[in-house]
Amino acid sequence: MEMFKKASATPLSRRKVLGAGLFGAAMLASPYIRRASAEENVLYVNTWGGDWEASVKKFLFGPFTKDTGIEIRTVSPISFAKLAAQKTTGVYEFDVTTLGVADVARANGAGLLETLEGHVDTSKLWEGAIYQNGLATHGFATQMAYNAAKFPEGFKNWSDFFNVEKFPGNRSLQRHAARVLAIALLADGVPADQLFPYDLDRAFASLDRIKDHVRVWWTAGPQARQILTDGEVDMAGLWDSDAFGAKEASKDPIEIVWDQAVVDKACWIVAKDSPRAENGFKLISHIGQNAEGLAKFCIADQNGPMNPKSFDFIPAEVAARMPTHPEHLARAVMLDGAKLLPQLDELSTRFESWVGI
């Protein structure tokens, strides 16, 4: 999950998408790449490897193979560039992968995804399950957490986080343009339903107010957890799993705020023109209806299921700290990659220049 969160944070410019064609040429030369065959009773899935892959194999892929007889073989790590190159070269290293909302919107806009309409029975899925031709199965949040020993009056929202006069102290935020700009606009009073597309000038003006107070622009979840646990910073905007980890590990009382948590979703997609697309549709349908398996996967991987039925299989004390728990989701802000699509290159370039580290 750590890698997914990091990679889904990385916008890909049009130049890079076009450059994926060069990568595709390299793929053709690789001895590990094999041309696809529609007759194979197999499916190649792009995964993050490691613990993430172990969990997804155990709780989602294993039951699928047992029910359908279709063997799943995995390749990793997940790569948007490979997805783009496959469409260009016709050489398919994988048929199915997962993407965050920004990348799935970009891929759908570029014609890199098979349409799910007519191939997946959406009547058997929950409302909002299909996003930009991807099945959104689980999500994670960027939320605020703070040292309650230093701020006993407590934080309510991102406006408090940005109020350096009332709440002086060191801060930390993720070096991730799409998520941080959402936070900056919410802090400046923009209503959640008017957030997308971003008012970039207003967002950067808001960020200017706290730039000198952000001690660390973190790039990995454990880094954010550790600096809050150690007291290097007094407050942080960090992933829900790391906020909970800091709360458990710190000698100081760490409080977590669920209001205005910014939620990103992971979506399963089928690569455009994959000769094994039919098997891919079967996998996506199976995952969408395997509420218990998704619940177990989310418990193991420390994220939240998007399928509401999955909460029937999750202990109440575990569900209470998941970002997609209905009580939390009702107070959260969902990232909308489709509405951000025209801005992704600009907001990323401008943010990196603004950070200037």
Name the phi and psi angles at 74, rounded to 5. -110, 150
Residue with tokens 């065959």: 37
pLDDT surpassing 60 at residue 246 = yes
Could you tell me which residues come within 8 angstroms of residue 303 by beta carbon, excluding any fewer than 6 positions away? 1, 138, 139, 140, 240, 241, 266, 322, 323, 324
pLDDT score for 20? 37
Which residue type does 136 have? A
DSSP symbols for 141-202: EEEEEEETTT-TT---SHHHHT-TTTS-S-EEEES-HHHHHHHHHHHTT--GGG-SS--HHH
Average pLDDT, the chain: 90
Tell me the CATH class for 42-139+265-324: alpha beta
pLDDT score for 78? 87
Domain residue ranges of the chain, discontinuous segments joined by +: 42-139+265-324, 140-263+341-356
39 pLDDT tier (thresholds 50, 70, 90): low
pLDDT score for 164? 97
pLDDT score for 291? 98
Report helix, strand and coil shares of the chain as percent, to nearest 5.
Answer: 45, 20, 35
Distance, in Å, from the CA atom of 80 to the CA atom of 142, rounded to the nearest integer, reads 23
pLDDT score for 340? 94
Which residue type does 139 have? G
- The model's pTM is 0.84
pLDDT surpassing 80 at residue 34 = no
In CATH terms, is domain 140-263+341-356 a member of 2.60.120.200? no
Q: Would the CATH topology of 42-139+265-324 be identical to that of 140-263+341-356? A: yes
CA 277 to chain centre: 24
pLDDT surpassing 70 at residue 180 = yes
Distance, in Å, from the CA atom of 139 to the CA atom of 323, rounded to the nearest integer, reads 7
The crossing angle, in degrees rounded to 10, of helices 80-89 and 101-109 is 20
pLDDT score for 4? 56
